[in-house]
């Protein structure tokens, strides 16, 4: 697919009204909107419908992780609400990912829709994985997960900026979506493996999920415009 603006703004706010108002404010500078767990479990998936009315793709970051039948049903419902992308944890296994792909496709009713496999959360470092009994580094684990996601029919994978090159080398057909984007001068918040938008673009990111640097700025529209300009410059030189 051709992505003209890779910025997906994470609308991590409390109400549907706030999400729509914020989306309308920054719509001219971003490529789409992300609805996270707070909205999906609060106002509900109807927020996806409301945002889809703005004629930009909506990313339902549901992070599905359950038995295949439950994941298939959830993905189907999100597709019916108009989600362009839905996330599912790769750690749920190939059968679960395949169920998510099938459910989303059925729910979307022929509209473009794809599953993004969540690999290693950007809040985790190697030490965190070791405490879970996982001896692989984040890069090694993401490499394996990307192969599983591709084989299961996912459209893309979610990884930190540090693993973008790894995903491109082992599963070049996958869309590479990265959170943990922090422009120069902003803090990492609860993210551990981060990068600037320019670095992420240089490493091959297709979608940049950016939340607090835009949504918590004094002027969200100006912040979105500034980041969009930086991304455009980086894209032109990539």
CATH number at residue 101: 3.20.20.70
**C-beta of residue 122 within 8 angstroms of C-beta of residue 193:** yes
pLDDT tens track for 133-168: 999 999 999 999 999 999 999 999 999 999 999 999
Does residue 209 sit within a domain? yes
Exposure b/e, 107-128, CB count within 10 A at least 16 = b: bbeeeebbbbbbbbbbebebee
Q: Which residues pair with 116 in a beta bridge?
A: 87, 156
Which of 29-33, 37-41, 114-118, 193-197 has the least mean pLDDT?
193-197
Is 57 domain-assigned? yes
Does residue 2 sit within a domain? no
Kindly list the catalytic residues. Answer: 63
Q: How many Cα neighbours within 13 Å face the side chain of 119?
A: 36
Counted domains in the chain: 1
Give the tens place of pLDDT for each residue, 186-195. Answer: 554 545 556 7
CB count in 10 Å sphere of residue 4: 6
Give the 3-state secondary structure of residue 185: coil
**Which residue reads 């890069």 in tokens?**
139
Domain contains 1: no
Q: Are 224 and 26 a contacting pair, CB within 8 Å?
A: yes
Higher confidence at residue 83 or residue 122?
A: 83
**Structure token pair of residue 20:** 């729509």
Assess if residue 12 is contained within a domain. yes
- Domain limits for position 159: 7-237
Average pLDDT in the chain: 92
Rounded to whole angstroms, what are the CA distances from 208 to 59, 77, 147, 201? 12, 25, 21, 8
Q: Is residue 53 exposed (0-12), middle (13-18) or buried (19+ Cβ within 10 Å)?
A: exposed
Take residue 208 and report the two structure tokens written for it: 């940049």
Length of the chain: 238
State the pTM of this model: 0.92
């Amino acid at each position: 697919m051709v992505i003209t603006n890779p910025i997906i703004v994470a609308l991590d706010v409390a109400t549907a009204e706030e999400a729509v108002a914020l989306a309308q404010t920054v719509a001219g500078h971003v490529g789409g909107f992300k609805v996270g767990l707070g909205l999906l479990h609060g106002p509900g998936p109807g927020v996806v419908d409301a945002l889809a009315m703005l004629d930009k793709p909506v990313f339902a970051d549901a992070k599905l992780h359950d038995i295949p039948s439950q994941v298939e049903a959830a993905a189907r419902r999100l597709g019916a609400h108009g989600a362009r992308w839905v996330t599912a944890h790769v750690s749920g296994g190939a059968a679960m990912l395949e169920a998510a792909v099938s459910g989303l496709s059925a729910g979307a009713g022929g509209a473009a829709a794809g599953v993004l496999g969540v690999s290693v959360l950007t809040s985790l470092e190697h030490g965190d994985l070791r405490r879970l009994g996982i001896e692989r580094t984040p890069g090694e684990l993401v490499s394996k997960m990307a192969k599983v996601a591709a084989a299961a029919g996912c459209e893309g994978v979610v990884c930190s900026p540090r693993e973008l090159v790894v995903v491109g080398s082992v599963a070049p057909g996958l869309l590479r979506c990265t959170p943990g984007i922090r422009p120069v001068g902003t803090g990492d918040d609860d993210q551990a493996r981060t990068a600037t938008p320019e670095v992420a673009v240089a490493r091959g990111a297709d979608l940049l999920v950016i939340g607090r640097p835009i949504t918590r700025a004094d002027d969200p529209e100006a912040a979105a415009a500034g980041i969009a300009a930086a991304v455009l410059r980086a894209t032109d030189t990539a």
